[in-house]
Amino acid sequence: MTAVKITGDIGVAFHTKAVALGAEAPQAVLRAANHAGGEIARQVFAKHGGGKGTLARSFLPAAFVDVPGSIAAGAFSDLVYAEVQDQGGTIRPKSGKNLAIPLTPQARNRWPRDWGDKLFFLKSKNGKGLLAERVGNGKKLKVQYVLQPQVTITGSGYIRAAAAVAAPVIGEIIATAVDKAMDK
């Protein structure tokens, strides 16, 4: 039997009885793990849209012995924000008092420190900290970042969605491997 589950680590994992597959086991589980990784990437792009694709590409296939006589595999990410993007949570700054939340397309691809001395701090009417730059003849301001002590993200559930879509295909991959092993 092949079980597909969401693991404590961020990823999709499954295990199957290696004895039933014989020599086909490693290839079959790695094919299935590759499929799981591909489905996670598709779900990340579907739920998070654009971006650089770092999260989607971070899920790599891995195989390991789960229980004696059984082999497990899956696709896992080591990115610290993978779990927060999937399940949601509060993000706080690692250093400093605030997170700089980008407000413009130019700010999305840069850190505030990358701007050099172009950005300056100002407070909005409601007391929020902002990082802005002077544009045009220097009389106009363009706010690039809003400063927040923390933000709460609602999870997108891309792992659960990927597991649901990948499960039938993973079952087919393992069933095909079992059929090949039985034919030998």
* Over residues 116-120, mean pLDDT: 93
Name the residue with higher pLDDT: 9 or 47: 47
pLDDT-derived band at 163, boundaries 50, 70, 90: confident
pLDDT of 22: 62
Report the range of poorest mean pLDDT among 62-66, 100-104, 128-132, 142-146.
62-66
Query: Per the structure block, which two tokens stand in for 9?
Result: 């680590």
Pairing of strands 70-76, 119-123: unpaired
What pLDDT score does 166 carry? 87
Please determine, for residue 50, whether its predicted confidence score (pLDDT) is greater than 80: no
In the Cβ-directed half-sphere of 133, how many Cα atoms lie within 13 Å? 17
pLDDT of 118 reads 93
